[in-house]
Structure 1
């Protein structure tokens, strides 16, 4: 069943000179770091500490499509969207732009699953997380 995605978090971070590779643009691995930082900020805004131990969010897959090369200098704007939550997971979608430019430079996705870090088994989303994901 297809559900509309909802914008849940926006952040900006600088492109560092060291983010570029020998081709003179941001290396493909760095886009995953941008998505990771945005995801951690969003999760921590929901008062969920991203630390080992107990129940917490992990990702079970991640993808990125590179549309327009990014280069230094610049500010990356990462917009995170979520789909409708399941029992223990939610699909996230990301759009990356350069500040001041509405074109999408890269698109990404990751499935976030709540898991007990001791057992490695999924657990239901915390009630306050589900409420935030389902809020209009």
Structure 2
């Protein structure tokens, strides 16, 4: 599977737990950082998050191998399916030197209106820009 979006991650000393590994919770922040970078790059302009948002509704995560302070890692992100109100994506944290997948995830994000507290349809412009960036994918 091809990942067109790659975000390099700087591991900080504060990311490390007592065992010398990047804390699992910190890895979630790496995923968040990469998702934001992906959406800003693909959307191509500032996103007004207070009016509408994409929120993580489902996350499956496998911690396959530990990450240490001296590792060089990057997050690979790919949206593989677009629904009416949601997108499905894969994100992997990968050792940029060896290509080893350290952490593997599958996620669903839902378009959400924070003012009304309800899910809403994805905007057509976001769907179009994701399709242009990713190429062929499943569209519901």
TM range (shorter): 0.7 to 0.9
Determine the C-alpha separation between the residues in 1 that align with 2:125 and 2:34: 19
TM-score normalised to structure 1 length: 0.87
| Residue 122 (str. 1) matches residue 116 (str. 2) | no
Task: Give the structure 2 partner of residue 133 of structure 1.
Answer: 130
Spell out the pairing of 1:1-136 with structure 2 (5 A cutoff): 7-45=3-41, 46=43, 47-49=45-47, 51=49, 53-135=50-132, 136=135
Change (3 A) 1:48 1:6: farther
Residues matched between the structures, number: 131
Determine the C-alpha separation between the residues in 2 that align with 1:19 and 1:130: 34
Structure 1: stretches of 5+ with no match in the other structure:
none
RMSD: 1.7
TM-score normalised to structure 2 length: 0.84
Structure 2: stretches of 5+ with no match in the other structure:
136-140
Determine the C-alpha separation between the residues in 2 that align with 1:50 and 1:104: 33
Determine the C-alpha separation between the residues in 1 that align with 2:86 and 2:116: 17
Q: Alpha-carbon deviations, 1:17-72, whole Å to 9, x = none?
A: 11111111111111101100000111122135263x21221111223211111100
Conserved? CA contact 2:81–2:89, under 8 Å: no
Conserved? CA contact 1:56–1:117, under 8 Å: yes
- Aligned-pair CA distance for 1:14: 1.0
